Amino acid sequence: MLSEDENRYLAEVGPGTPMGELMRRYWMPIAAAAELEDNATKPVRLMGEDLVLYRDLGGKYGLLDQHCSHRRADLSYGYVEETGLRCNYHGWLYDEAGHCIEQPFEETAHPEANFKEKILIKSYPVEAKAGLLWAYLGPKPAPLVPDWDVFYDQGYKQIVFSHVPCNWVQCQENSIDPVHFEWLHSNWSLRMKGSTGPYSPTHLKIGFDEFDYGFVYRRIRSDTTEDNELWTVGRVCLWPNALYTGNHFEWRVPIDDENTLSVGWFLDNVPGEEPFEQERIPYWYSPIKDPQTGRWISSHVMNQDFIAWVGQGTNADRTQEHLGDSDRGVIMMRRKMVEQAQLVADGGEPFATIREADLNQKVRLPRFADGGALPGTASRALRPFTFQAGQPRAITEEMERIWVERGGSVAVAAPSQGPIRLDGRA
């Protein structure tokens, strides 16, 4: 267990806090690129800072302080120009670096004053990659946005967001906890269907290793051996705030000390040998609470995770926990977080950042031989989306059409039917 001060040290992400300064050394996914095609501005709260994300008419992205420097109007209600974002209150115009480049009335009344040149609001760089928009809130020069190899795999990609009302650390601790899958996803799902057995294969042995970009966790279950890829390859707890399983990522992005943006990036390999490209990667927002009952949705894998996270409280009270052998990975991760926060405070370069362009080309992460699925489970059939509730019908229908056109088939089972399996997930 941790002391209250140690627990607070891990949880706080605002400017000037140890973990906040560490997390600001990494690029964070904050939106889908397609969102800014649908609506050119979006309010964003990131690590306790209120910002506005925009894409101007020239195609350039910006991330600025949410409030205009004039009289603090909300810039998320502003409108974009060929260059920059204009405040809708008095027309002040800002570029992506936070410079005020137009002040219509001031320039008319006192053109000699050059008042606009005295105005600079907070700004952060934004980059697009893999259908996501990434923000960097740390000191310059910024590292590179990681170029993971799976971003280039041929398949149907989609991005899913959820707002989770708890601190990000307890979300990320889930990323290095292999045993939870046996109980939270497999056995609990079985009981929710009204069955009392047989239960999931049990965990017999778990292992954890650090590598260049985080940690790998491994498992041997009662139905596998040390020759199985669950042990020889394992799954990736991606530093500092993601899970990677071979065919999808889950980022836990700190909104502030009490809220997390869950960002899921999913890949389904399409059938057929012909090339396949999406014009744009679709996105959607997944609900986490049933509006009829007020209870958390429990039908899908990540929704079950959300229940576990928020059940620990807005900020998990680690002064009251009792860790066991299954928590060795969690302990490793916490120690790494404290170590790296201190390293940053001392002026060092934190773990798992990439600065050399020649090292940032399709960077390979550990994954099973067939991608994300367990050996022997790959299928030409499109299976239901089991990860998060609420997939829009338009996306489901588009995927079904693509699978049929490419010689595949469509499974008819709903996500709540049949067991939740380890393929591509845990």
Task: For 370-399, write each residue's pLDDT tens digit.
Answer: 764 433 333 578 999 999 999 999 999 999
In this structure, the answer to whether residues 323 and 198 fall within a common structural domain is: yes
In a domain, 19, yes or no: no
Give the CATH number for residue 261. 3.90.380
In a domain, 336, yes or no: yes
Task: For 183-236, write each residue's pLDDT tens digit.
Answer: 999 999 999 999 999 999 999 999 999 999 999 999 999 999 999 999 999 999
In a domain, 4, yes or no: no
Give the CATH number for residue 99. 2.102.10.10
In this structure, the answer to whether residues 122 and 238 fall within a common structural domain is: no
In this structure, the answer to whether residues 106 and 156 fall within a common structural domain is: no
In this structure, the answer to whether residues 161 and 85 fall within a common structural domain is: no
Structural domain range at position 165: 149-410
pLDDT of residue 379: 57
Band (426; pLDDT cuts 50, 70, 90): low
In this structure, the answer to whether residues 201 and 105 fall within a common structural domain is: no
In this structure, the answer to whether residues 109 and 183 fall within a common structural domain is: no
- Return the percentage of the chain with pLDDT > 90, whole number: 92
In this structure, the answer to whether residues 44 and 125 fall within a common structural domain is: yes
Is the predicted pLDDT of residue 423 greater than 70, yes or no?
Answer: no
In a domain, 415, yes or no: no
In this structure, the answer to whether residues 115 and 212 fall within a common structural domain is: no
In this structure, the answer to whether residues 162 and 283 fall within a common structural domain is: yes
In this structure, the answer to whether residues 51 and 90 fall within a common structural domain is: yes
In a domain, 332, yes or no: yes
In this structure, the answer to whether residues 184 and 53 fall within a common structural domain is: no
**Where is the domain boundary, 135, 167, 200?**
135
Task: For 132-158, write each residue's pLDDT tens digit.
Answer: 999 999 999 999 999 999 999 999 999
Band (303; pLDDT cuts 50, 70, 90): very high
What pTM does this model have? 0.94
**Where is the domain boundary, 135, 167, 195?**
135
Q: What is the 3-state secondary structure (H, E, C) of the chain?
A: CCCHHHHHHHHCCCCCCHHHHHHCCCCEEEEEHHHHHHCCEEEEEECCEEEEEEECCCCCEEEEECECCCCCCEHHHCEECCCCEECCCCCCEECCCCEEEECHHHHHHCCCCCHHHHCECCEECEEEECCEEEECCCCCCCCCCCCEHHHHCCCEEEEEEEEECCCHHHHHHHHHCCCHHHHHHHHHHHHHCCCCCCCCCCEEEEEEEEECCEEEEEEEECCCCCCCHHHHCCEEEECCCEEECCCEEEEEEEEECCEEEEEEEEEECCCCCCCCCCCCCCEEECCCECCCCCCECCCCHHHHHHHHHHCCCCCCCCCCCCCCHHHHHHHHHHHHHHHHHHHHHCCCCCCCCCCCHHHCCCECCCCECCECCCCCCCCCEECCCCCCCCCCHHHHHHHHHHHHHCCCEECCCCCCCCCCCCCCCC
In this structure, the answer to whether residues 162 and 101 fall within a common structural domain is: no
Domain tally, the chain? 2
pLDDT of residue 412: 66
